[in-house]
Amino acid sequence: MLNKNTQNYIANFITYTILIISSMAVILPFVWMIFSSFKTAGEIWTFPPVFMPKKFQWSNYIDAWNALPFDRFLFNSIFVTVCVTVGQLFTCSFGGYAFARLRFPGRDKLFLMYLATMMIPFPVLMIPLFIIMQSLGWTDTLKSLIVPCLFSAWGTFLMRQFMMGIPRALEDAAKIDGCNYWQLYWKIIVPQCKPVFATLGIFTFMGTWNNFFWPLIMINTIGKKTLPLGLVMFQTRIAAETPWHLIMAASCATVLPILILFVIGQKYYVKGVVTSGLKG
Partner 1 sequence: MINKLFKLNYIQKEKIAGYSFLSPNLLGFLIFSLIPIIASVFLTFTSWNLASSPKFVGFENFANVLKDELFWTYLWNTFYYAIGTIPLTVILAFSLAYLLNRKIRGVVFFRTLQFLPSVTLLVAIAIVWSWLYNADFGLFNYFLGKIGITGPRWLQSKEWAMPAIIIMGIWKGTGYSMLIFLAGLQGIPERYYEAAEIDGANWWHKIVHITIPLISPTTFFVIVTTTIGSIQGFDQFYIMTRGGPSGATTTLVYYIFQNAFEWFKMGYAATVAMMLFIIVLILTLIQWHFSNKWVFDEGVE
The verdict on whether omega for the bond into residue 48 sits within 30 degrees of 0, i.e. cis, is yes
Type and span of the H or E element at 201: helix 194-210
Contact 189, 101 (CB under 8 A): yes
> Least Å distance between CB 217 and partner 1?
6
Of 205, 204, 225, the closest CA to residue 215 belongs to 225
DSSP state of 238: S
> Per CB under 8 A, does 18 bind partner 1?
yes
Q: Which is nearer to partner 1, 82 or 232 (CB)?
A: 232
> What is the footprint of partner 1 within residues 32-61 (CB under 8 A)?
32-33, 36, 44-49
Please state, in angstroms and rounded to a whole number, the distance separating the CA atoms of residues 58 and 67. 15
- Which one of the spans 59-67, 166-174, 191-199, 260-268 is the region binding partner 1 (CB under 8 A)? 260-268
Residue 78's SS3 state is helix
Q: Which residue in 91, 141, 161, 192 binds partner 1 (CB under 8 A)? A: 91
Cα–Cα dist 194/61, whole Å: 37
Amino acid identity at 52: M
CB nearer to partner 1: pick between 62 and 256: 256
Based on the shown chain and the rule CB under 8 A, indicate whether residue 210 belongs to the binding site for partner 1. yes
Distances 265 to 76, 209, 220, 221, 276 between C-alpha atoms, Å: 23, 15, 33, 34, 17
Q: Site mask, partner 1, residues 117-156, x = CB under 8 A?
A: x-xxxxxxxxxxxxxx-x-------------x-xx-x--x
Q: Specify the stretch interacting with partner 1 by CB under 8 A; choose among 19-27, 66-74, 78-86, 164-172.
A: 19-27
Site residues (CB under 8 A) for partner 1, limited to 213-252: 213, 216-217, 228, 231-232, 235, 244, 247-248, 251
Question: Contact, 156 vs 114, CB < 8 A?
Answer: yes
Nearer to partner 1, 22 or 66 (CB): 22
Shortest CB 21 distance to partner 1, Å? 11
Selection from 87, 219, 40 nearest residue 227 by Cα: 219
The least CB distance from residue 56 to partner 1, in Å, is 18
Interaction of residue 264 with partner 1, rule CB under 8 A: no
30 or 56: CB nearest partner 1: 30
Q: Footprint of partner 1 on residues 159-178 (CB under 8 A)?
A: none
* Interface residue with partner 1, options 145, 196, 206, 219 (CB under 8 A): 206
Among 2, 25, 176, 239, binds partner 1 (CB under 8 A): 25
CB of 63 to partner 1, least distance (A): 17
DSSP codes, 150-187: G--HHHHHHHHHHHHTS-SHHHHHHHHTT--HHHIIII
